[in-house]
Amino acid sequence: MIYKVSYVIIGGRQPGAIINQDHTPYIGEKVQIGELWYKVQEVKDLLPPQGNFAYLHVTCQPTKPPAEQN
């Protein structure tokens, strides 16, 4: 299945993105969009799956890259 994911960044300073993925994002996951990293806060279905496609809305907030979390 291909997941078409709409990423929305809390605070609106960054533009977000629409990305095709091979897995469902999950709460707490760290994702890289461009050069910046974000932590997933919420995942919602936008539409019911259609064929091999699922449409998701993901809300996330800026975070540090995984290597800098220590």
Q: What is the pLDDT of residue 13?
A: 78
pLDDT in tens, 30-44: 999 988 999 999 999
> In what side-by-side order are the strands of the sheet with 2-9?
17-21, 2-9, 53-63, 36-50, 30-33
Of 40, 58, 43, 55, residue with least CA distance to 1 = 55
The mean pLDDT of 12-39, rounded to a whole number, is 92
Which amino acid appears at position 41 of this protein?
Answer: Q
Q: What is the pLDDT of residue 67?
A: 78
